[in-house]
Structure 1
Amino acid sequence: MKKPRFETLQAKKLIGKRLTMSFANNKTGELWGSFMPLRKIIGQAIGNDLYSLQVYEPDFFTHFNPHRSFEKWAAIEVANFDTIPEGMETFTLVGGLYAVFLHKGSNTDTSTFQYIFSTWLPNSEYILDNRPHFELLGAKYKNASSDSEEEIWIPVRLKG
């Protein structure tokens, strides 16, 4: 696996849909199935990249349980919150330092996440920061295709 690049993200305004789920009761397909038909009605979109964003409790990974709930968003970046389509919500993604990993392959392949949390993070000079995690789904994202690409953004801060 490759080492990440580091990015200091500026705050972003997102509009999308959210669902509460767990890894054991994954509703990602349902969430994106409800979001995608409506994404074109979101005004003021900045680009075409999609955000698959997770909001976890601060101790989610230190006391990991696959049945523990978290909030997942399907969203797109917007210039402002002037017009919010019915059934959609706003989310302000706070800025900060992120370790960014390129994942190549199907969205069902969890090897990159396993590497990040079991190998890279414990052996790095970083710890998780209590901010949202997200995947940036750009032009090369092809869902379950083996030649799909996406970026995995992990919020980090230096140890100590």
Structure 2
Amino acid sequence: MLKPRIEALQEKRLVGKHLGMSLAQNRTGELWGSFAPMIKAISNTISDNKFSLQVYPKDYFDNFDPTIEFEKWAMVEVADFIDVPDQCGTFVLQAGLYAVFDYKGSSTDSRIFEYIFSAWLPSSDYILDNRPHFEVLGKKYKNNHPESEEQIWIPIQHK
């Protein structure tokens, strides 16, 4: 299946909105629906890429339960935090090591995450790190379309 590239991410400044949700009570559509109209008001964006970022509780993956809540962000990368719209929050994504999967397929197909956490990660030289997980949604991202493309960034550290 997919083999990731390992990247050392540099710190990023992000602006966006967030909601608490679980996989069982997924509010991603609501989150992006409220944030997308604001993107044009953010004057200092670095690219057209959008970031879908998850901050999971520390032991979230140890005893996986789809009803456990986490914080999800809809964001764009900015040069600085000057002139942030009132309805938006800021987030500093710390530097760190990530496994980056170039994924093509529907964003509703969970098999890629099953592969990452059940097959790739256990057989790799890495363990999951307790930092945010995120997806980069670029020009080829088409939401639930089978030809959609995105990058899945999984925080890792050496075993």
Query: TM-score under structure 2 normalisation?
Result: 0.98
SS in 1 for 2:8: strand
For residues 76 and 97 of structure 1, what CA distance do their matches in structure 2 show? 20
TM superposition shift of 1:25: 0.4
SS in 2 for 1:20: strand
Cα root mean square deviation, aligned: 0.6
Quote the sequence identity (%): 59
TM superposition shift of 1:58: 1.4
For residues 55 and 3 of structure 1, what CA distance do their matches in structure 2 show? 24
SS in 1 for 2:116: helix
Q: Tell me if 1:37 matches 2:37.
A: yes
TM superposition shift of 1:11: 0.5
**Equivalent AA in structure 2 for residue 22 of structure 1:** S
TM superposition shift of 1:49: 0.3
For residues 49 and 121 of structure 1, what CA distance do their matches in structure 2 show? 26
TM superposition shift of 1:88: 0.3
Aligned to 1:127: 127
Aligned to 1:136: 136
Instruction: Map 1:4-83 to 2 at 5 A.
Output: 4-83=4-83
TM superposition shift of 1:60: 0.5
**Equivalent AA in structure 2 for residue 44 of structure 1:** N
Query: TM-score under structure 1 normalisation?
Result: 0.98
Runs of 5+ consecutive residues of structure 1 not aligned to the other structure: none
Q: Which moved more, 1:104-113 or 1:11-20?
A: 104-113
SS in 2 for 1:122: helix
